[in-house]
């Protein structure tokens, strides 16, 4: 995947929120994060019959490929290097190979700690790491469009709920998103049944307040008779500023988004227990 100077409308490639989502880095964002490159590499390798897995290595995600022949050593691949000939690292059992990998993390890791870190992991750890990358990207970009900010935060919340994050982290995440009725339906009907009782209770408490406010709002009827109405519920549109396609599913007398989203990134900066974004 090569760089594309015409893409990266939200910032540099390494701080672009969309670089964390497969639909973006597989189609339009040609420069992306190491974790995304490893996702593509392992997916293709698996389709070709190889046994490939990600390595949750500090700083840079690597790939782990088991040999096809008995007695051969596994191969560690760094998919982020500029030239393919430099992508295959030495054996994880050799001192040269360990020294070669240690600098990728940017940390002063002992050789035995490095060897322990070069083990294959499941997709679940990659999902959690990607979610943390999203939060870190949101904190590093000054002005994220609402159509990117809201679903990105919602995804991170879902992942942290599934991984049973601590109450303080979950409370801060849920407090810094403007949940809508459709979000609550998603959380309650699709996500809540898979959560622990603790996380399920927290989700129900947050969503019930939103649904109660929605029920009260439905009792108020605002007539638009005599006004110049340009839009209607069910109408598809292309956003004039951000150029995305959507449809109108409801309308409010006034928009709460201007204040909420202006404060959102400031509040997200205060999230605790969020490690620095890595590849």
Say which DSSP state 18 is in.
G
Domain count, the chain: 1
Residue 75 located in a structural domain: yes
Render each residue's pLDDT in the chain as its tens digit; 279 residues: 443 333 333 345 455 787 788 877 777 656 778 888 899 999 999 999 999 999 998 888 999 998 888 777 888 888 888 777 778 876 544 444 445 555 554 444 444 556 677 889 988 899 999 998 888 888 887 778 887 888 899 999 999 999 888 888 888 888 888 898 889 998 999 999 999 999 999 999 999 999 998 888 778 777 766 667 788 888 898 878 767 788 887 766 665 555 444 444 444 444 434 444 445
- Classify residue 181: in a domain, yes or no: no
Q: Determine the straight-line distance between the first and last CA of the chain, rounded to whole angstroms.
A: 15
d(CA 195, CA 128): 16
Number of H helices, E strands in the chain: 10, 6
Strands (E), 3-121: 52-55, 62-65, 75-77, 88-89
| 130, 148, 267 from 263: Cα distances, Å | 24, 16, 6
Three-state DSSP class for residue 101? helix
| Residues 269/139, Cβ–Cβ less than 8 Å | yes
**Is residue 46, in this structure, part of any structural domain at all?**
yes
Establish if 205 belongs to a structural domain: no
User: Beta strands 245-247 and 236-238: pairing type?
Assistant: antiparallel
Q: Are 24 and 50 in contact (CB under 8 A)?
A: no
> Is 24 among the domain residues?
no
Amino acid 195: pLDDT: 93
Nearest-angstrom CA–CA distance, 278 and 80:
13
Q: Is residue 151 part of a domain?
A: no
pLDDT at 264: 47
**In this structure, is residue 66 part of a structural domain?**
yes
Query: Which SS3 state, helix, strand or coil, does residue 194 take?
Result: helix
Domain extent, residue 87, equals 33-121
pTM (predicted TM-score):
0.67
In a domain, 200, yes or no: no
Instruction: State phi, psi for 151 to the nearest 5 degrees.
Output: -65, -30
């Amino acid at each position: 995947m090569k760089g594309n100077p015409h893409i990266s409308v939200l910032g540099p490639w390494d701080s672009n929120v969309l670089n964390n989502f497969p639909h973006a880095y597989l189609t339009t964002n040609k420069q992306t994060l190491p974790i995304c490159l490893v996702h593509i590499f392992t997916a293709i390798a698996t389709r070709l019959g190889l046994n490939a897995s990600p390595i949750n290595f500090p700083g840079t995600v690597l790939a782990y490929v088991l040999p096809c022949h008995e007695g051969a050593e596994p191969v560690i691949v760094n998919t982020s290097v500029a030239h393919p000939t430099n992508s295959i690292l030495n054996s994880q059992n050799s001192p040269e190979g360990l020294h070669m990998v240690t600098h990728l993390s940017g940390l002063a890791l002992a050789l035995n700690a490095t060897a322990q870190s070069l083990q294959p992991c499941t997709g679940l750890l990659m999902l959690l790491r990607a979610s943390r990358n999203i939060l870190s990207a949101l904190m590093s970009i000054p002005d994220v469009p609402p159509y990117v900010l809201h679903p990105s935060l919602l995804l991170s919340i879902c992942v942290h709920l599934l991984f049973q994050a601590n109450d303080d982290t979950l409370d801060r995440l849920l407090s810094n998103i403007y949940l809508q009725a459709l979000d609550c339906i998603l959380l309650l009907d699709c996500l809540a049944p898979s959560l622990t009782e603790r996380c399920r209770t927290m989700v129900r408490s947050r969503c019930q307040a939103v649904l109660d406010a929605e029920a009260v709002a439905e009792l108020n009827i605002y007539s638009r008779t005599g006004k110049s109405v340009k839009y209607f519920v069910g109408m598809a549109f292309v956003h004039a500023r951000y150029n995305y396609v959507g449809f109108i599913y409801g309308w409010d007398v006034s928009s709460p988004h201007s204040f909420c989203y202006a404060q959102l990134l400031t509040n997200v900066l205060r999230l605790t227990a969020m490690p620095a974004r890595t590849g």
